[in-house]
Chain A
Amino acid sequence: MSSFLQDAVITESVLVGASLSDIQRLCKARSRLLNSTERTVIWPKLAGLPDEVYGEVDEGWRTQPCHRDEDQVMLDVQRTQFLVRSGLQTKDNEKYREELNDLIVRLLREHPTLSYYQGLHDIAALILIVLKDRDEPEVTYKFFEMFSFCHLRDFMMPDLTMSTQMLNMVPECISLVDRQLYDELSLESMKPFFCLSPIITLLTHDIKNFSSLCLIFDQVLACGSIGIVVYIYVALMINQQDKYLEKIRLMEQEDMFSREDLVHNALSKFLMDVSLDDVELAIADSYKILEKWPLEKLKSFKRLRKWSVMKTTSKVYVGDIRKLVQFRAETDFDKLMKKQMMPSPMIVKLLMNEKNHRLIKISLSVGIISIVLSILLNKHHPQRYTALCQTVSSWLVNTNHAGKLHSFLDGLGLP
């Protein structure tokens, strides 16, 4: 480790000259020592923003057509609770609300294919507050834009499909790391909607401690992936289990609610009071889990669509982060989003739906068995085969099934 990584105080000038990989290592190893001023330099670098002077805020978006989700944005911005951070006065909340609204609405107006989802406002609020010290609002916007495109695209689709697919990674990870907990919670038999809010908001909606969230975002940026959030959440679930399992057991004695409801209820709330120490421990554990069970090995990862951020612009990054930055600078995100929005071909949809799996298997099996049987019958008992064919065709003629078949084929314009 270079001396830069061991210095107790990291000055801004050191950071400006530091290599990206050093910064990446710094975030993973010593995240807790960073302060907000340092983050204002580190975050844009790691996000892949080119080092340049951004200058005045581009106000062109104000004259662009309104986005369909602007009312919803305003509602959520009005009730945003800004995180408490030293040096920031709550009396300025009104000002922050205005800035937060502008930040989100500008993104939507400049890229109308993106949809707003409730929870994005929590992520945007954190970014706004952290990058405030830099006093360059244009950098805040460019950072938010890059971050949304690289990491949040799946959640900004018109519907929830891609978001809910991602949730399946949580129970799968738990089953690998702590099978006993998986069984205790009966995760096999329930939908993982308890982790909807933590995953799609990258924990910003559920954890209310500013420093904890900064640590988590340091990891997202250092790994170049929101995949790390899945692992941090899994580590928190495992480390905190004593707290919520006790609650579930107590409630269960009352014999009132279904187990599924109790698990959902307990897991929806346990993040509210995790401490900074808990989060730091979970981060350390998450890297161990990631090493043993990397994303690509998870079945639920394989089932994600090929355009998912997890498979494209938000892959867990190992190696030289400069390449990642280069790649992001060259990606046309609007084009990527359009491709992602294209409906999957019918056959993929059929296969994706688990309900159809059995139907397809049965149809294929019946088809193959009848072909094999007819070949065998024809080979060994050709007379019986002919007789059988005649019986079937006469049955079709008598019951007018053939007639129906013909008129159906006529309707299709087929011979």
Chain B
Amino acid sequence: MSSRKKTLLKVIILGDSGVGKTSLMQQFVNGKFSQQYKATIGADFLMKELVLDDKTVTMQLWDTAGQERFQSLGVAFYRGADCCVLVYDVTNPKSFENVSLWRDEFLVQANVKNPENFPFVVIGNKIDVDESKKLVSLKKAQQFCANLGNLPLFQTSAKEAVNIDQAFDVIARNALQQEENDEFQDEFNDAININLESENQGCAC
């Protein structure tokens, strides 16, 4: 059934202000980079069609505001997400520390059915800078992702288009997996409901 229907994958991109959420999305969707994307206020989405193996999917990528005060809007935007991308800036240790806070906040607000299995992907952006400016080591990030249940980790540069397609390919595949699980779950629930109804009828007789 799912192969005939058009598949929409909803992806939410979160992370501290200035880590490069808008840049990552622009690089992936439009293949361009600007030194100065304006701050994102509220949230909005871009879309991109992808072919995964032989299946065409449309990704709906939600870009969000990084300032903490806008987090309360999450409830309105996170619902129905299939994957959540957590972005930090390799030159900014605070943004890395906040990754787990963003993850917790997402789980609270998105109201996902299965928090343990919900797909997250972690991205450390701005790896184009000098080695001396990199303050979050790859090892530390790998350790962190392992502790959170082996979350996929990518080191990217939105500026120089490094690792962008690879990261979004994994994001899309995980989102698709999640979407299919949800669909399966829904069908499974429907099946149970039907059974219950027929059981009830049986009791009534």
Contacts and interface: CB of A to CB of B under 8 A. Distances in A.
B8 interface: yes
A386 interface: no
Nearest to B49: A256
Interface in A249-266: 254-257, 261, 264-265
Interface residues of B, number: 23
Interface stretch (A33-41, A193-201, A220-228, A392-400): A193-201
- Among B37, B69, B72, the most chain A Cβ lie within 10 Å of the Cβ of B69
A160 B73 contact: yes
A119 B41 contact: yes
Interface residues of A, number: 32
Interface in B57-80: 58, 60, 65, 67, 69-70, 72-73, 76
Given A118-B17, A160-B69, A196 B39 contact: no
A145 interface: no
A268 B73 CA distance: 15
Interface in A175-224: 191, 193-194, 196-197, 200-201, 205
Interface in B34-59: 36-39, 41-45, 47, 58
Contacts of A117: 67, 69
B15 interface: no
A118 B38 CA distance: 10
B76 A79 contact: no
B4 interface: no
Contacts, number: 69
A56 to B, nearest CB: 32
A315 B142 CA distance: 55
Nearest to B44: A268
B6 interface: yes
Given A193-B76, A256-B8, A268 B42 contact: yes
A401 to B, nearest CB: 33
A164 to B, nearest CB: 8
Contacts of B38: 79-81, 205
B124 interface: no
A340 interface: no
B42 A193 contact: yes
Interface of A: 72, 75-76, 79-81, 115, 117-119, 121, 158-160, 164, 191, 193-194, 196-197, 200-201, 205, 254-257, 261, 264-265, 268-269
| The 8 nearest A-B residue pairs measured at CB | A197-B41, A196-B42, A75-B18, A268-B44, A118-B39, A118-B67, A79-B36, A191-B76
Interface of B: 6, 8, 17-18, 36-39, 41-45, 47, 58, 60, 65, 67, 69-70, 72-73, 76
20 contacts: A75-B18, A76-B39, A79-B37, A79-B39, A80-B38, A81-B36, A115-B69, A118-B39, A118-B70, A159-B69, A160-B69, A193-B43, A194-B42, A196-B42, A197-B42, A205-B38, A261-B45, A265-B44, A265-B45, A268-B42
Given A118-B67, A193-B43, A254-B6, 14 more contacts: A75-B39, A79-B36, A79-B39, A118-B17, A159-B69, A194-B42, A196-B42, A196-B73, A201-B41, A205-B41, A256-B6, A257-B8, A261-B60, A265-B44
